[in-house]
Chains A and B, each alone.
Chain A
Amino acid sequence: MYPPKFEYYRAASVSEALALLAQHRGAKVLAGGHSLIPAMNIRLANPGVLIDIGKIDELKGISTRNGSVRIGALTTHATIAASSVVPQALSEAAGMIGDPQVRNRGTIGGNISNADPGSDLPTVLTALEAKIHITGSAGGRTLAASDFFIDLLMTALQEGEIVTAVEVIAPGAGHGSSYVKLAHPASRYAMVGAAAVVTLVGGTCTAAGVAVGGLTPCAKKAPSVEAALIGKALNADMLAAAAEVVLDDLGDDILEDIHAGVEYRKSMAKVFVDRALSAAVQRAQTHQM
């Protein structure tokens, strides 16, 4: 529990954070610290400089405007889990992260910037087609979640950039979403995570977003599953059939460990996509009434 030596700076504003980042190449940004600090303590991470953005108030909180929900990068998992304005899949997933201590410290921006393959939020944000707002010394940009998550622990963030907010669609009539996971028995990260969001109009699925994570190096959108849903009046058999085709969307790189091998995880992807879809559709039906 003794990290190597590092320099520590606390930024009071986003602009100060960017200036510090420009000044210290290779610095790591510290938010809630619940992935970075343990990694430093076991000397897996060895950043020479930490820039703490944890006190920047402008990056905190959830607001709604024009049918979208904006979640500041420093909003904690606990806040998101307790929110009634974010899509249910997102609050559900945030509530499944770690334990109360982790949820009280960990932030959405830190979580997605770290992009752990077992993390829950990237899967939900990918299904929701969330926008990731980024800023850097060269200015701001916005990426779709599916373009943001690139590979194992790898995002589209460039040197000197930070995530400022995540934007998702505000759930409206006929909208239902869900996140379910097969939790790792030791870490409780997702061995398989599945998120589904559907919109039903008159019983017909007009829009669907499905993503899986945990078993792939980063969250994966499941277009084959989505295609099997859109335009259809959904029933249980149809959802199960749609979930089956998730295998077409997983790619070749499937993770495994001593608790769950490749074949098991692939099969569980089908089971959990089915469960996520079923819950999402049920919620959408409730919201139609």
Chain B
Amino acid sequence: MGYVGKSVKRVEDPRFIQGHGKYVANIKLPGMAYAAIKRSPYAHAEIISINTEKAENLEGVVAIFTGRDLMEGTKLSGPCGALPCGFVPPNTKVPTRHPLAVDEVNHVGDGVAVVVAESAYIAYDALDLIEVDYKPLPAVVDAKAAAQEGAPLVHAEIANNTSFLWTLGDKEATKKAFAEADHVIELELINQRLIPNAIEPRAAVAQWDKFAGEMTLWTTSQNPHIIRLLLSGFTLGIPENKLRVVSPDVGGGFGSKIFHYPEEVIIPWLARALDRPVKWVASRSESFMTDSHGRDHITNCKLAVKSDGTFTGLWVSTWANMGAYLSTFAPLIPTALYITLFSGLYKIPAIWGETRGVITNTVPVDAYRGAGRPEASYQLERLVDLAARELGMDVVEIRRKNLIPENEFPYQTPVAMIYDSGNYQKLFDTLEELAGYQEMRKEQAKARQEGRLVGIGVSGCIEASAPGPSPVVTSLGSAIGLYESGIVRVHPTGQLSVFTGSHAHGQGHETTFAQVVADELGLPMEAIQIVHGDTDRIPFGTGTYGSRSAAIGASALVRSAEKIREKVTRIAAHQLEANFEDMVYDQDNGTIYVKGSPDKSKSFAEIAFTSYYAANLPPGIEPGLEATTYYDPSNFTFPNSAQIVQVEIDKHTGAVRIERFVAVDDVGKTINPMIVNGQIVGGIVQGVGQALWEHGVYDENGQLLSGSLMNYALPRADQFPMMETGRIETPSPHNPLGVKGAGEMGTIAATVTVANAVMDALAPLGIRHIDMPLTAEKIWQAIQSSQNGGAN
């Protein structure tokens, strides 16, 4: 039918735009009670006592439980287990994380008790009446400082607060590369902490059927099956066949809704303990202090370069702040999603990377849009810019000189990855042309003569998305394989229910997946219903993150559709008394006929009905028309992007204005260009947020100073010009759609592009590097000190 490749309007939008999305917070059940959580105001403290008496006496309070109550369990609701970490590389020390703290709190916002009341108002009133006696303990917030000998320990059993050391590469070869280098470009940098802020706060509603022993949990999750698995196997102990996890419409995640959170344990535990439905919805303040944060690296890095600009080595040491506990996939991010991308788009023969995962008294840090890859891009692309500056080369020229040539794919990097496909020269050709790069440089030269601070930033970045295959990701430490499930169920009347283990929370799968299946079977999109987000309706799936849904989730549907096509063709061949090999399945209109006789055809709907009527099926063919696939990819995919940004800095205030933003991406084949463009543009905006404004700030006592939207600065539409986007397509060779994933590329590249542009603007003043966010104040200070004679 030709849907794939077209900008079909999103079928989700009418309900979202008109305010009829069905979110967890919309759920109201008869007899439902409301929970609120008492949280620690201290970053690190011993809990001496918790007095709940006054709160319990408040009218309308149903019950109050502490961390110890949950750990020990009640008569009706058994003990809660600790929250597991789902990615544990060898020799990782995993601190115990109870759903509610027991004896000790380890970050501001750590839960200590939960109130259940007849209304949310009463629950919040009761929180104020709970008296917790704390003995404050010394706190650590900075990863590098926390890893030093003698720093206060967050968890007594984890020496130097260091949970793991993860290394990759050839250390000796890299040392040699630096010993022989003409130039060594060094940089110490901070990749600051970010706070995700999905528009919908996390929420949970649980309903317990004590006679059936069945629990239903509605939760704001990107991967309901993973949550069911962890609840069943680790935290709640309800068998998977009696535990239903539903993740309905979800208002954004950006990674922050992948993880198994304490409230997903507490709320169903309460429903069982009290034998009534219980609801919890996070306030925005709770989002800030309990949703897993992102980034937060301190990094020393250096690039070895020959005098002609050829890169010969890269060395990176990083202290990754993991927060107070290891969130569900936390150790994966600064290791296998980070060091493996150090080569970027370039041939760098020798690479060494080492990451220390450090525990601190802060909110746990885990995957956030890009997850490890923006950090890898940022350090490399900053080093490349500094190398160009030292060598007096143009920033595009030095990149082009080192790009992996098109004829060397598949390309084995020194850090484990095999890049499957790409055409990086063409990527830069397209970018330079779209931007008019040479012209931009001329105009910049003119502006500089006028004393204006105009900067042009360039980057070329790689992403490894859609992780797989399962044997590889499990060998790296993942506790679960990363395949995806997909069922195509054809009903007797010819309509389809399509079940996917992927989960949409803004990506538009109800549109794009329907486009894919419609084209595979030659059916109108309207005949196809995409079902996701309910463990009772869909087979075990691993969810949506890592830009994996199109590459893995939609590929599973393609495989299932192929199986349907084959069965339909076999039945049609039988009915038309022809050989299967002589049949044609016309994917333009869903008709099946004998080669050469299209006038004597069977329609898809006819065959669908006869497959259930089952009176005249070929021998050996079962009735019914349904196919299931668990698709395990043979490799990651490798989207890539090149960007040019022009900024101008107000030299009086230090404020940065983005004048132009040009991005060219290779995300492989595109299913829906409009949705891809939206993903790229939205991703860019999020990446620029890190470059210029966003910063999760703790003071030295572990108090979160950027704990609300009054002081955590998110990007806004009026800060951006119209984005200029372009695309090249080198199809991924190993998945049936040739797609690579589009969800994160914009973010991964945009942060460093803007940082490079700002540094380019400041270059005439001799300013070499400023850590992000590049706030007006920091830039102003750098300008001041450069004018006072001192280079920054």
Contact = CB atoms under 8 A, between A and B. Distances in A.
B780 interface: yes
B283 interface: yes
A117 to B, nearest CB: 13
A214 B777 CA distance: 15
B121 A5 contact: yes
A257 B697 CA distance: 11
Contact of B653 (A42, A186, A261, A268): A268
Given A2-B124, A185-B693, A264 B652 contact: no
B775 interface: yes
B285 A43 contact: no
Contact of B285 (A3, A42, A261, A268): A42
Nearest to A267: B780
A2 B121 contact: yes
A160 B693 CA distance: 42
A258 B776 CA distance: 12
Interface of A: 1-5, 42-43, 182, 184-187, 257-261, 264, 267-268, 271
A259 B653 contact: no
Contacts of B781: 264
A187 B652 contact: no
A264 B711 contact: no
Nearest to A4: B125
Given A258-B706, A271-B652, A186 B714 contact: yes
A103 to B, nearest CB: 15
Contacts of A2: 120-121, 123-124
B283 A1 contact: yes
A78 B471 CA distance: 61
A187 B285 CA distance: 15
Given A186-B714, A260-B775, 12 more contacts: A2-B123, A185-B713, A186-B709, A186-B710, A186-B711, A187-B711, A258-B695, A258-B711, A259-B711, A264-B776, A264-B777, A264-B780
Nearest to A187: B710
A186 B777 contact: no
A185 B653 CA distance: 13
Interface in B629-677: 652-653, 655
Nearest to A185: B713
Given A1-B283, A271-B652, A259 B125 contact: no
Nearest to A268: B653
From A4, A187, A260, A264, residue with most partner B Cβ within 10 Å: A264
10 contacts: A42-B283, A184-B711, A186-B693, A186-B709, A186-B710, A258-B695, A259-B711, A264-B780, A267-B780, A271-B653
B712 interface: yes
> 5 nearest interchain CB pairs?
A185-B713, A186-B713, A2-B124, A264-B777, A187-B710
Given A1-B283, A271-B653, A259 B714 contact: no
Contact of B777 (A1, A187, A260): A260
B179 interface: no
Contacts of A264: 776-777, 780-781
Interface string B108-152: 000000000000110111001000000000000000000000000
A271 B705 CA distance: 28
A267 B787 CA distance: 15
A261 B777 contact: yes
Interface residues on B, range: 20 to 34
Contacts of A43: 124, 128
Contact of B711 (A4, A42, A257): A257
A240 to B, nearest CB: 11
A142 to B, nearest CB: 33
A184 B713 CA distance: 8
Nearest to B650: A271
A182 B655 CA distance: 9
A182 B775 contact: no
B273 to A, nearest CB: 23
Contacts of A1: 283
B710 A258 contact: no
A182 B654 CA distance: 11
A1 B121 CA distance: 9
B500 to A, nearest CB: 34
B711 A182 contact: no
B99 to A, nearest CB: 22
A2 B714 CA distance: 24
A185 B121 contact: no
Contacts of A185: 693, 713, 775-776
Contacts of A257: 711
A264 B781 CA distance: 8
A19 B121 CA distance: 30
Contact of B697 (A3, A258, A261): A258
Contact of A259 (B123, B652, B709, B775): B775
Given A258-B706, A264-B780, A267-B780, A186 B712 contact: yes
Nearest to B125: A4
Nearest to B775: A259
Contacts of A271: 652-653
Contacts of A258: 695, 697, 705-706, 711
A262 to B, nearest CB: 11
A10 B124 CA distance: 26
Nearest to A257: B711
A260 B695 CA distance: 13
Contacts of B777: 259-261, 264
A177 to B, nearest CB: 22
B653 A182 contact: yes
Contacts of B780: 264, 267
A18 to B, nearest CB: 30
Contacts of A187: 709-711
A2 B283 CA distance: 9
Nearest to B693: A185
Contacts of B655: 182
Nearest to A271: B652
Nearest to B283: A1
Nearest to B706: A258
Interface in B686-713: 693, 695, 697, 705-706, 709-713
Nearest to A272: B653
Contacts of B710: 186-187
Contacts of A4: 121, 124-125, 128
Counting chain A CB atoms within 10 Å of each CB, which of B120, B652, B655, B714 scores highest? Answer: B652
Nearest to A263: B781
Nearest to B695: A258
A277 B272 CA distance: 67
A102 to B, nearest CB: 13
Nearest to B127: A43
Contacts of B775: 185, 259-260
A5 B655 CA distance: 44
A4 B121 CA distance: 7
Contacts of B120: 2
Nearest to B697: A258
Contacts of A3: 121
Contacts of B714: 186
Nearest to B699: A258
Contacts of B128: 4, 43
A261 B784 CA distance: 14
A258 B697 CA distance: 8
Nearest to B715: A185
A1 B282 CA distance: 9
A184 B781 CA distance: 17
A3 B120 CA distance: 10
A265 B712 CA distance: 19
Contacts of A184: 711, 713
A268 B125 CA distance: 43
Contacts of B693: 185-186
Task: From B128, B697, B776, B781, name the one whose CB has the most chain A CB atoms within 10 angstroms.
Answer: B776
Contacts of A186: 693, 706, 709-714
A110 B125 CA distance: 27
